[in-house]
């Protein structure tokens, strides 16, 4: 047993979709969350900027003595290999477990909807092609959607129009049923995706990352079976938006919410 907390990072509030899954799958684990809301969106930045900003969050969590960090961001996960060997704890990214899920499901045709960086980097495309030659992949990106969500515009026409336009674009690309919400901000407005088209199968990678965390902790005898599932939030932005997402996702109460500078 390892009672130390799990660290979770994202450019902003998106990683709370992973927290949601961790709270359901690993209810005894304590969580320390870091969201770099002042610098969101990461998806419109270049690789060096994403690396440098992420490293600051990872170093912050190192001081908090976390037992593992979940990269609850597809954009950062696209460069997760770069962090290996530079940290005192293991990291689990969100892309690998989702690839595993897609392959195991035997899906033949899939759409990936993510940030500009994730899509341009072709992270899902390359990993899926390595595993299966027969899979047909289409990709759609947005520079605006993660930012609109991070600003708390969960019900606005602007957010709905922005995602509907991309869903329509996916449908024009062929007979597609499976759509990966490949940015952790997107499942926060899952209701809007269903409003745009309720006949599609939206895949939420957060669930698969939480399952991968469970397997890792179990295999390494690091599960916390006695903790209360406390969560502490640190952000470079405003804590108010966190209260709004906690309500929207119906998350378990926080122990603490704090604005910090990195």
- Determine contact, residues 229/23, Cβ cutoff 8 Å: yes
Give the residue with the Cβ less far from ligand DGL, 167 or 222.
167
Burial class (CB in 10 A: 0-12, 13-18, 19+), 81: exposed
Q: Least distance to ligand DGL from the beta carbon of 56, Å?
A: 15
Name the site residues for ligand DGL (rule: CB under 6 A): 10-12, 14, 40-43, 73-75, 114-115, 118, 146, 183-185
Please list the residues that pair with 178 across neighbouring strands. 110, 201
Q: Least distance to ligand DGL from the beta carbon of 21, Å?
A: 14
Please give the radius of gyration of the chain, using alpha carbons only, rounded to the nearest integer: 17
| Catalytic-role residue among 57, 61, 73, 112 | 73
The residue number with the shortest CB distance to ligand DGL is 43
Is 183 a catalytic site residue?
Answer: yes
Give the residue with the Cβ less far from ligand DGL, 128 or 206.
206
Question: Distance (Å, rounded) from C-alpha 58 to C-alpha 41?
Answer: 18
Q: Least distance to ligand DGL from the beta carbon of 144, Å?
A: 10
Q: Least distance to ligand DGL from the beta carbon of 178, Å?
A: 18
| Catalytic-role residue among 128, 140, 183, 206 | 183
Question: Two tokens at 49?
Answer: 């900027």
Give the residue with the Cβ less far from ligand DGL, 74 or 224.
74
Q: How many CB atoms lie within 10 A of CB 176?
A: 18
Is 73 a catalytic site residue?
Answer: yes
DSSP, residue by residue, 88-105: SS-EE-SHHHHHHHHHHH
By annotation, the residues acting in catalysis are 73, 183
């Amino acid at each position: 047993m390892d009672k130390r907390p799990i660290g979770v990072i994202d450019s902003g509030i998106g990683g709370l979709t992973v927290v949601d899954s961790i709270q359901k799958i690993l209810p005894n684990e304590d969580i320390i969350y870091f969201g770099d809301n002042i610098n969101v969106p990461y998806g419109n930045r270049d690789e060096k900027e994403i690396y440098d900003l992420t490293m600051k969050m990872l170093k912050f969590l190192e001081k908090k003595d976390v037992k593992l960090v979940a990269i609850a961001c597809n954009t950062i996960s696209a460069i997760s290999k770069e962090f290996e060997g530079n940290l005192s704890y293991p990291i689990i990214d969100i892309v690998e477990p989702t690839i595993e899920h897609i392959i195991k499901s035997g899906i033949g045709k899939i759409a990936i909807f993510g940030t500009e960086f994730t899509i341009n980097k072709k992270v899902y495309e390359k990993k899926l092609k390595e595993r299966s030659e027969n899979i047909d992949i289409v990709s759609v990106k947005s520079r605006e959607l993660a930012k609109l969500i991070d600003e708390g515009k969960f019900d606005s026409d602007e957010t709905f129009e922005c995602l509907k336009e991309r869903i329509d674009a996916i449908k024009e690309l062929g007979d597609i049923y499976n759509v990966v919400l490949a940015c952790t901000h997107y499942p926060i407005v899952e209701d809007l995706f269903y409003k745009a088209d309720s006949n599609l199968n939206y895949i939420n990678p957060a669930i698969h990352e939480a399952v991968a965390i469970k397997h890792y902790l179990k295999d390494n005898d690091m599960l916390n079976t006695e903790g209360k599932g406390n969560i502490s939030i640190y952000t470079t932005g405003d804590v108010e938006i966190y209260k709004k997402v906690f309500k929207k996702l119906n998350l378990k109460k926080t122990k603490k919410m704090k604005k910090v500078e990195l």
